Amino acid sequence: MFELTALDLARVQFGFTVSFHIIFPTITIGLASYLAVLEGLWLWKKDSVYRDLYLFWSQIFAVNFAMGVVSGLVMAYQFGTNWSYFSTFAGGITGPLLTYEVLTAFFLEAGFLGVMLFGWNKVGPSLHFFATVMVAIGTLISATWILASNSWMQTPQGFEIIDGRVVPVDWLKVIFNPSFPYRLAHTSIAAFLATALFVGAAGAWHLLRGRATPAVRAMLSMAMWMILIVAPIQIAVGDAHGLNTLEHQPAKIAAMEGHWRNEPGQGVPLILFGWPDMAAGTTRYVIEIPRLASLILTHDLDGQFPGLMDFPAQDRPNATIVFWSFRVMVGLGLLMLLLGFRGLWLRWRERLYDDRTFLRFTTMMGPSGTIAILAGWFTTEVGRQPWVIYGAMRTEHAVSNHSALALSATLLIFVVMYASVFGTGIGYMLKLVAKGPQEGLGVENMPNHGQPPHAARPLPADPDNIRPAIR
């Protein structure tokens, strides 16, 4: 039977649109900070390599940002169109958080973006730098609020239910709910990591084609430092995140581990691979390491933690999906670690820019950050099921009263449109990447929008005129 109910369709629609959305914000968050660093380095060291890189990446940033904005717009409305009972029930908490996000983050990003992208000849260098920094800060504030909202739905606290709806009683508890710090750290680091992998892949790709310009080398080098430092931190944070989840959402951890039942007095093995079978209530074809899961999650070789059988069948998340999405994320995380160390080794041997196997590996790892992020979110969100607000509201009670027909029609619109618009946009981004940074490119020649929207002042003939006048 392949009969999707209105609930299934609403979930598919939300999952589809948010999965597309998250691709862009992660790159926006990472690139905005990268651009701020590049501009800072340029102002400080006055090395034109940094300016070339800034101009190069800011064009890609512009395309990515536009797609982030329009796909985000859909998300802000979908809570009402698809999950109207959820909005009536929990709007008193998610609404103010989203409002703060708009007020403190979206306006900040949008307000300074114009100056950042088009203001080169309109404001002085330090004001321009200020605009870039504001955009970067805006993206991080945005992540903070939306993750507070999502984390509250995962581990809700600080509220009462009065007259059938959520009433906040302690805003600090609502915002600083138990999973928020972990999720904020893990997701922000993921954004930096994903961007570093993307930037590094761009550098490696150009090096493989023999374009070893200073800008391309700088790009690869900066990315490799970032990955080296951040990948291990991400794994440590992920581990702590998991321990926290065990405390607050044990069913999710059981699903991630494919762990069904405890044997008396025995530690839980770490299942490397297997196929959790929801109907049979067991994990098939397992390859496992005895007692390792106990050690990781309880720090005791004989420790036990709840298995899926400890929860009524209707309260179990889909372990088949969660088990595998979790392994995709962790597997990619380990590959990133490997990449970071390999880069360090080659740097030490002074072959970072020449080792073709390494450069191919780096190129292939380009999308791995984005894939790991999607896998991570699938783990988190599917693992939360069947709750939309953990322990307080079930997903089936959240959905609007639309017919399956209406939802199928709109889903079709979204799929076709996202594939064509965002597919094309990603294509344009990759084409810009393939062009590569241009050396000594003056701002006035930016291939961006043809021109800074209006050049009220005559453009400097000498490209170096726009160099900062600091000395």
DSSP state, 268?
P
Burial class (CB in 10 A: 0-12, 13-18, 19+), 229: middle
| 289, 301, 447, 464: residue in contact with other proteins (rule CB under 8 A) | 447
- Nearby residues of 62 by Cβ (< 8 Å), 6 or more positions away: 117, 448
Tell me which residues touch ligand HEM (CB under 6 A). 11, 14-15, 18-19, 22, 83, 146, 149-150, 179, 183, 186-187, 190, 193-194, 234-235, 238-239, 241-242, 245, 249, 252, 329-330, 332-334, 336, 369, 372-374, 376-383, 385, 388, 395
Please give the distance of CA 126 from its chain centroid, rounded to a whole number: 30
The number of CA neighbours under 13 Å toward the Cβ of 203 is 25
> Min. distance of Cβ 308 from ligand HEM in angstroms?
16
Kindly tell me which of 142 and 325 has the beta carbon lying closer to other proteins: 142
Site for other proteins in 147-186 (CB under 8 A): 162, 165-169, 171
Residues forming a β-bridge with 455: none
> Min. distance of Cβ 139 from ligand HDD in angstroms?
4
Q: Which does 142 bind (CB under 5 to 8 A by kind): ligand HDD, other proteins, ligand HEM, none?
A: ligand HDD
Q: Which does 390 bind (CB under 5 to 8 A by kind): other proteins, ligand HEM, ligand HDD, none?
A: none
Kindly tell me which of 29 and 223 has the beta carbon lying closer to ligand HDD: 29
Kindly tell me which of 13 and 385 has the beta carbon lying closer to other proteins: 13
Per DSSP, the three-state class of 5 is coil
Q: Report which residue type is found at 85.
A: Y
The number of CA neighbours under 13 Å toward the Cβ of 131 is 19
Kindly tell me which of 97 and 443 has the beta carbon lying closer to ligand HDD: 97
Q: Report the distance separating Cα 388 and Cα 396, nearest Å.
A: 8
Kindly tell me which of 62 and 230 has the beta carbon lying closer to ligand HEM: 230
By CB under 8 A, is residue 27 in contact with other proteins?
no
E strands, 189-320, are 270-277, 282-289
Site for other proteins in 101-120 (CB under 8 A): 101-104, 106-115, 117-119
Site for ligand HDD in 41-100 (CB under 6 A): 65, 68-69, 72-73, 75-76
By CB under 8 A, is residue 225 in contact with other proteins?
no
Q: Which two tokens stand for residue 400?
A: 């609007």
> Min. distance of Cβ 394 from ligand HEM in angstroms?
10
Q: Which does 440 bind (CB under 5 to 8 A by kind): ligand HDD, other proteins, ligand HEM, none?
A: none
Are the C-beta atoms of residues 344 and 228 closer than 8 Å to each other?
yes
Site for ligand HDD in 178-207 (CB under 6 A): 187
By CB under 6 A, is residue 146 in contact with ligand HDD?
yes
Our CA dihedral for 378, 384, 387, 392, rounded to 10 degrees, sits at -140
- Nearby residues of 171 by Cβ (< 8 Å), 6 or more positions away: 158
Q: Report the distance separating Cα 141 and Cα 147, nearest Å.
A: 10
Name the nearest CA neighbour of 235 among 349, 92, 340, 81.
340
- Contacts with ligand HDD by CB under 6 A lie at 18, 21-22, 24-25, 28-29, 65, 68-69, 72-73, 75-76, 105-106, 109-110, 139, 142-143, 146, 187
